[in-house]
Amino acid sequence: MITVKGISIVVPFLNEEEIISQFCAALDAYQSSFPLPLELVFVDDGSTDHTTANIQKYLFSNIKKVKVVALSKNFGSHSALRAGLQNVSYDVVTWMGSDLQEPLELLEQGLDKIQQGYEAVYFEKKAVKVSFLEKTFSGFYAWLMRKYAVSNFESGGINTIMFTKKILDMLNANVESNSSIILQTLSYGYKHITVPIAYHARSGGKSKWTFSKKIKLFIDSFVAFSFMPIRLVSIIGILMFVVGFAIGLVTLINKIANPAVPIGYSTMTSMMALGFGITNISLGIIAEYLWRAYDAARKRPAFIISDVVEVINQDSCTKGSGK
C-alpha cells in the first residue's frame, strides 16, 4: 500500500466571483471529515473580477494550505493546470473546477485507488445534463480519440485525473503548449484505473468553456497525439489521383469512340474546384502541424506566473516571490 501524506487540488478559474466562496466553503467543510490534509492551489487564469480577493479573505477553518497562483494573462485552462502543478506541495495531485461540478467524493475514491497501488485514477464523466449537440460532439470526440490517438480514452470523456509524483514529475518536466494535459497523461501508460462518476450541474456563474475553445481542444488533440490528419491528406491525394485518372481515361476513350462529342467544360470546372478545395484543406492540416512545430521550436512559455500568494492561516497571508 502506498503511503499518502496529503492531496493537492489544483483549481484553475476565470472570473468566478459568484461561486468561489461557495467552493471554498464546500472544500473546507469536506476537510473536516477527510482523513488526510488537503492543499488548494488556485490558479487565476487572467481574471478581471474579484475572485482572487474573495479567496484571500475567505476564513478557512480546516484547510491549512491555500495558495493562489496568478498568471499574467489568460492562457487557457490546460496551461493554468500546468502552472498549478508546478506549485503543489503533496505527492498526490488532482484538479477540480471552481463550479463544484466534480463531486467531492471523487477524492475518497481516488485516494482509495492510489493506496491500492495505481499511479493514476481517471474519472469518467457520467450522468451530466447536457444538450443533444454537446452530447453528440463529446461522443464523437471520444470515439476519434480512442480510434486514432489514445486507445484508453473513455467513452464518457475524462475531465479529472488523480495521480502520483511519478506522473507529476513527468508533466512538469514536459510542459507542452497547444496540448491536452489529459491526453498527455493517458499516453504515459502508467498503471491506472478508470472510475465512472456522476458529475453535478454547475452550481452558479457562467461556463467559460466556449465553442471556440472546444474546437481548439479538438484540433490540438489530433495534431499533438495523432498522425491521422496527416495520413488523411495522403489518402485524399491518392483517391483524387485515382478519380482524376479514371475520369481522364473515360473522357479519352469517349473522345476516341465519338469524335463529335464536345469537351465538357462544366465537368472540368467542377473537378478543378473540387481539387483545389481538397488541396487547400490538406495544406491547412499541414500548416497546423508546421505551426505547432514552430511554436515548440521557439520555446515560448505555456504560461507566465506573475505572483504567488500563500494563505497561511485564517487571518493572514504572505506574498511569495513572483515567478
- Please count the helices (runs of H) and the strands (runs of E) in the chain: 10, 9
- CB contact set of 48 (below 8 Å; sequence gap of 6+): 15
Q: Note the pLDDT of residue 127.
A: 58
Q: How far apart are CA 25 and CA 304, in angstroms?
A: 29
Q: How far apart are CA 136 and CA 133, in angstroms?
A: 5
For the chain, the C-alpha Rg in angstroms (whole number) is 25
The confidence score (pLDDT) of residue 320 equals 44
Cα–Cα distance, 79 to 181 (Å, whole number): 9
Record the cell numbers describing residue 207, joined without a space.
461556463
**3-state class of 233 per DSSP?**
helix
Cβ atoms of 287 and 223 within 8 Å: the answer is: no
Select from 216, 211, 200 the least CA-distant residue to 133.
Answer: 211
Whole-number Å distance between alpha carbons of 209 and 288:
22
Query: What pLDDT score does 317 carry?
Result: 42
Q: How far apart are CA 282 and CA 280, in angstroms?
A: 5
CATH of 7-225+303-320, one of 3.90.550.10, 3.40.50.150, 3.90.1640.30, 2.70.170.10: 3.90.550.10
192-198 vs 120-126, strand pairing mode = parallel
State residue 180's pLDDT score: 81
For residue 172, give the C-alpha cell. 512538469
- pLDDT score, position 113: 95
Cell of 143: 470515439
**CA pair distance 125, 195, nearest whole angstrom:** 9
pLDDT on residue 282: 77
Q: Let me know: does 217 contact 180? Beta carbons within 8 Å.
A: yes
Q: What is the mean pLDDT of the chain?
A: 80
At position 225, the amino acid (one-letter code) is F
Grid cell 462518476 is found at 197
pTM over 0.85: no
Sheet strand arrangement including 158-163: 192-198, 120-126, 158-163, 92-95, 7-13, 38-44, 65-71, 305-311, 318-320
Which residue positions in the chain have pLDDT lower than 50?
266, 314-323
The full set of domain ranges for the chain reads: 7-225+303-320, 228-298
Q: What is the spatial distance between Cα 121 and Cα 264, in angstroms, rounded to a whole number?
A: 62
